[in-house]
Amino acid sequence: MAFVILDPCRGEKSGECVTVCPVDCIEEGPEQFYIDPDVCIDCGACKAVCPVDAIVEEFDMTPEQEKYLEEAEAFFGSS
Domain count, the chain: 1
How would you write the pLDDT of the chain (79 residues) with one tens digit per residue?
Answer: 799 999 999 988 999 999 999 999 999 999 999 999 999 999 999 999 999 999 999 999 999 999 999 999 999 995 4
Could you tell me the CATH number of the domain that includes residue 72?
3.30.70.20
3-state secondary structure at position 56:
strand
Can you give the residue range of the structural domain that contains 27?
Answer: 3-76
Question: pTM higher than 0.85, yes or no?
Answer: yes
Alpha-carbon distance 47 to 35, whole Å?
11
